[in-house]
Structure 1
Amino acid sequence: MQIETPPSEKPYDKAEGERRGTVIVNTGDGKGKSTAAFGLALRAHGRGKAVKIYQFMKVPSARFGEHRMFEQIGIPIEGLGDGFSWKSQDLERSGQLARDGWEKARAAILSGEFFLVVLDEITYPLIYGWLPLEGVLETLRARPKHVHVVLTGRRCPPEIVELADTVTDMAMVKHAFKAGIPAQRGIED
Structure 2
Amino acid sequence: MTELDKAQKHQQRQQKLKEKVDERIANATDDKGLLLVITGNGKGKSTSGFGMVTRSVGHGLKAAVCQFIKGTWECGERNLLEGHGVPFYVMKTGFTWETQNKETDIAAAELVWQEAKKLLTDETINTVMLDELTYMLTYRYLDIDEVLETLANRPSGQHVIVTGRACHRRLIEMADTVSEIQSIKHAFDNGIKVQKGIDW
Structure 1 and Structure 2 fold alike (TM over 0.5):
yes
Q: Which runs of 4+ in 1 moved over 3 A?
A: none
Contact 1:22–1:149, Cα closer than 8 Å, also in 2 = yes
Asked if 1:56 corresponds to 2:56, the answer is no
Aligned counterpart in structure 1 of residue 106 of structure 2, from 83, 95, 111: 95
Q: For 1:9-88, what aligned pairs fall within 5 Å after superposition?
A: 9-10=17-18, 11-12=20-21, 13-14=24-25, 15-59=27-71, 62-88=73-99
Q: Distance in 1 between matches of 2:112 and 2:88?
A: 12
Between the two proteins, the alignment pairs up a number of residues equal to 184
Asked if 1:120 corresponds to 2:140, the answer is no
Asked if 1:174 corresponds to 2:185, the answer is yes
3-state secondary structure, aligned to 1:92: helix
TM score, norm. by length of structure 2: 0.86
Contact 1:81–1:94, Cα closer than 8 Å, also in 2 = no
TM score, norm. by length of structure 1: 0.91
Q: Distance in 1 between matches of 2:75 and 2:147?
A: 27
Q: Distance in 2 between matches of 1:64 and 1:24?
A: 22
Task: Give the unaligned 5+ runs of structure 1.
Answer: none
Contact 1:81–1:98, Cα closer than 8 Å, also in 2 = no
> What residue number does 1:186 align with?
197
Contact 2:67–2:130, Cα closer than 8 Å, also in 1 = yes
Task: Give the unaligned 5+ runs of structure 2.
Answer: 1-9
**How far off its partner does 1:113 sit?**
2.2
Q: Distance in 1 between matches of 2:142 and 2:182?
A: 26
Identity %: 37
Residues 81 and 129 (structure 1), Cα distance of their counterparts in 2 relative to 1, 3 Å cut:
farther
